[in-house]
Chain A
Amino acid sequence: MNKTVNQKAWFFVLPVLVLVAFNAIIPLMTVVNYSVQETFGDNVFFWAGLRWFEEILRSPRFHDALGRQLFFTGTILAIEIPLGVIIALAMPRKGPWVSVCLVLMAMPLLIPWNVVGAMWNIFGLPELGLLGKTLNTIGFDYNYTRQPGDAWFTLILMDVWHWTSLVVLLAYAGLVSIPDAYYQAARIDGASSWAIFRYIQLPKMKRVLTIAVLLRFMDSFNIYTEPSVLTGGGPGNSTTLLSLDLVKIALGQFDLGPAAAMSLIYFLVILLFSWIFYTVMTRGDEQ
């Protein structure tokens, strides 16, 4: 669409700008402020320069948390995106079952995050939960509060349960926007179902899948509530992701300087990944 140049449009954006700036810039400046200072309480601050940044970047604790975070995000993306696409492809296109599918699949998305954590906590209990009891009955030695492997298994299963539906909804929205004529043409050409998927459906879903990957990447990198309720970062530190570690440092130990420095590094990592992915995915569209 041709847009008119109109500088007065700024007035329309102003309310949003004021609210978001109030919410984003002031707190962000507070964080920047803490990140370069040291305090011994009583609101007395000393200049610390970049010491906290160096400390965080060198600390094995941060490296471990970042490693776990990358492993978590990588794993859930590798499971949720293909699974979501497969389910969206298998969903009916019209008829009464569409609504039933959509409503039931959207359910996990609207459950408060701590309830999701609590639900899986109960579901996985070795003696009282359906999942835990079943696994133990068929011969697995499953206990997510004691064994790190089991904690990870439960955590990833929970996230797949929680968020695959978002990918399904997005992929499905992309699929239903493909006109029937495309499929008819493909049928006349005798295209295999793989060819239809590769050359018609996948390109049409590219845009929504970009949104899906971006949203899942950002949100899984920011995940806090569900693992904190499910495992609390344990056993030991085995499931302590970045957010959990950050909250421990900031609100638990009240180490404001290191926490602030870590916050900024954390935020920059997310921005960097999102920007690279976004640029790569949309590069082809510019021409």
Chain B
Amino acid sequence: MMTRLKWLVPTLYIIFLMLPIYWLVSMSFKTTNEILGSFTLWPQNFTLENYYTIFTDPTWYNGYINSIIYVSINTVLSVAVALPAAYAFSRYRFLGDKHLFFWLLTNRMAPAAVFALPFFQLYSAIGIFDTHLAVALAHTLFNIPLAVWILEGFMSGVPKQLDETAYVDGYSFPAFFVKIFVPTIAAGIGVAAFFCFMFSWVELLLAKTLTAVAAKPIAATMTKTASSSGYELGLLAAAGTLTIIPGAIVIYFVRNYIAKGFALGRV
């Protein structure tokens, strides 16, 4: 009895997850008149006008481009510096290694609200305020610890004999690392990159604080629309719908590794 109805639990949960998303998507295809005038479960006068506005207005589509640029810089940077560090943590003992690991993780706990103002001052002082690099650098604060944590877990799962055999075969360390080790933990790198992408893509407070015009993220454009021009719900819904798409694509590619990534990481 219980086992036969088991499928009901995930099904109901997924329906619960999809309802608000459905409402957002359906609203993005409605005209403003329909949204404000009547309560309809699906669009009666189907329109693409909201999407047309977004794809033709530079303030809108530049927001997407900016977001994608700084998220990419952040992901590449975080994973690139996390790789050697994670290797060191998984293979060697050195002075202060455990304290260093814990200190890295404490940065994951730092509230963004605490860092917003100091970041603004720091990045203004060194002259990179309102650049993609500023946001990418700021996001490394919580993404590097996470990437090191995940990669260390994956690397600890690779037996040390692999390293030793390679040295016996005459590989130098850099050659071994690039040609043998990195391909071996490709799945781990994928998972780490996924989480870096995810946390950089969804964060807004720091991204908004560190940009003004040139590198303004899509999320900031949205909040401005919501507050300034009364309530353009259809447009807001269309912009929101478009922000779901990159994430959905990324999830599809890493679906088999997502769960594994956290499970292998060391607490």
In residues 91-116 of chain B, which contact A (Cβ within 8 Å)?
91-95, 97, 100, 104, 106-116
- Find A6's partner among B92, B141, B209 (CB 8 Å cutoff): B92
The segment from B43-51, B52-60, B179-187, B249-257 that touches chain A is B249-257
Q: Tell me if A4 and B93 are in contact (CB < 8 A).
A: yes
Cα distance A137–B143 in the bound complex, in angstroms: 45
Given A6-B94, A90-B9, verify A270-B111 contact (CB < 8 Å): yes
Number of A residues with CB within 8 Å of any CB on chain B: 97
A-side interface mostly: helix
Q: Tell me if A99 and B20 are in contact (CB < 8 A).
A: no
- Find B17's partner among A165, A172, A207, A221 (CB 8 Å cutoff): A165
Q: Which chain A residues lie closer than 8 Å to B106 at the CB level?
A: 271
Given A9-B91, A90-B10, A122-B24, verify A23-B265 contact (CB < 8 Å): no
Cα distance A191–B7 in the bound complex, in angstroms: 23
Provide the B10-37 mask, 1 if CB < 8 A to any CB of A, else 0.
Answer: 1001101111110110010000000110
Cα distance A119–B233 in the bound complex, in angstroms: 10
Minimum C-beta distance from A70 to chain B (A): 15
The segment from A11-19, A47-55, A56-64, A141-149 that touches chain B is A11-19
Q: Which chain B residues lie closer than 8 Å to A115 at the CB level?
A: 219, 222, 240, 243-244
- Find B13's partner among A4, A87, A208, A222 (CB 8 Å cutoff): A87
Minimum C-beta distance from A147 to chain B (A): 20
Beta-carbon nearest neighbor of B16 in chain A: A161
Minimum C-beta distance from B221 to chain A (A): 10
Cα distance A164–B9 in the bound complex, in angstroms: 13
In residues 157-178 of chain A, which contact B (Cβ within 8 Å)?
161, 164-165, 168-170, 172-174, 176-177
A210 within 8 A of B: yes
Given A9-B94, A20-B104, verify A120-B115 contact (CB < 8 Å): no
A67 within 8 A of B: no
Given A90-B7, A112-B202, verify A99-B118 contact (CB < 8 Å): no
Q: Tell me if A128 and B35 are in contact (CB < 8 A).
A: yes
Beta-carbon nearest neighbor of B2 in chain A: A193
Q: Which chain B residues lie closer than 8 Å to A259 at the CB level?
A: 117
Minimum C-beta distance from A209 to chain B (A): 10
- Find A105's partner among B14, B84, B223 (CB 8 Å cutoff): B14
- Find B260's partner among A122, A130, A173 (CB 8 Å cutoff): A173
Minimum C-beta distance from A107 to chain B (A): 6
B82 within 8 A of A: yes
Minimum C-beta distance from B81 to chain A (A): 4
Cα distance A129–B21 in the bound complex, in angstroms: 12
Given A12-B84, A92-B7; 4 other pairs, CB 8 A cutoff: A16-B144, A90-B9, A114-B219, A118-B236
Query: Please, could you name 22 A-B residue pairs with CB atoms under 8 Å apart, sorted by A?
Result: A3-B92, A7-B94, A9-B88, A9-B92, A12-B88, A20-B107, A20-B145, A23-B119, A27-B122, A101-B14, A102-B258, A107-B247, A110-B247, A110-B251, A112-B204, A118-B222, A131-B20, A173-B260, A176-B259, A221-B111, A225-B203, A250-B116
